[in-house]
Chain A
């Protein structure tokens, strides 16, 4: 069974450019999470979806960030315009509450560098 898939694995862009990160959750999982990881702030939850609907986006840093989940197998996190302080590793994770024992599985991450 394939795990959480993220693309691209690495992204280098210039300040002001639009960046789109992609995620395919584990099939059958109804929760999808976007995290950002930096040395200074550790793992931060940005937004999560349940059944494709955004539930909590309070972690999204500002209006330059947006996330969508058009269907159960795909989600995007977009930064427009990007800034150097957005440089971080962005993780997607998915989980399911259909069993009583919930766990959360992470993708390999997208390493973003904004110059």
Chain B
């Protein structure tokens, strides 16, 4: 079945640094979603992408739909302590009716 890989699995950065993470798929997707999950809460949608090559921003967050349609990238600029959490990617192809989720990237921001 479809699988998503996220890289890195975890990362520790200093406050103020930029962050990059990615998500790769074994198959082509037509929709990518990025979520953030805070401890004890449900995943919250950050950015949605619907076209190959699309670049979308949400404040300090920018996500891109890879040209190959098998990957997506999320960047966070000038990280702050509240960026701490787990970031999940999710993808859907033309045939599926539900989303496949990656294992998440755990972000820690050091003051």
Contact = CB atoms under 8 A, between A and B. Distances in A.
Interface of A: 4, 31, 33, 42-43, 45, 48, 50, 55-56, 91, 100-109, 111
Contacts of B48: 101, 103
Given A31-B97, A42-B104, A103-B33, A109 B45 contact: no
Contact of A55 (B42, B92, B97): B97
Contacts of A104: 33, 45, 90, 99
A48 B92 CA distance: 15
Contacts, number: 45
Nearest to B90: A104
A42 B97 contact: no
A107 B35 CA distance: 13
Interface residues of B, number: 20
Contacts of B31: 101-102
Given A91-B42, A106-B35, 8 more contacts: A45-B98, A48-B97, A103-B33, A103-B45, A103-B48, A106-B42, A106-B44, A106-B45
B85 interface: no
B29 to A, nearest CB: 12
A92 to B, nearest CB: 9
B87 interface: no
Contacts of A108: 41-42
A105 B46 CA distance: 11
28 contacts: A4-B42, A31-B97, A42-B101, A42-B104, A43-B88, A43-B101, A45-B98, A48-B97, A48-B98, A56-B97, A56-B98, A91-B42, A101-B31, A101-B48, A101-B50, A102-B31, A103-B45, A103-B48, A104-B33, A104-B45, A104-B90, A104-B99, A106-B35, A106-B42, A106-B43, A107-B42, A108-B42, A111-B40
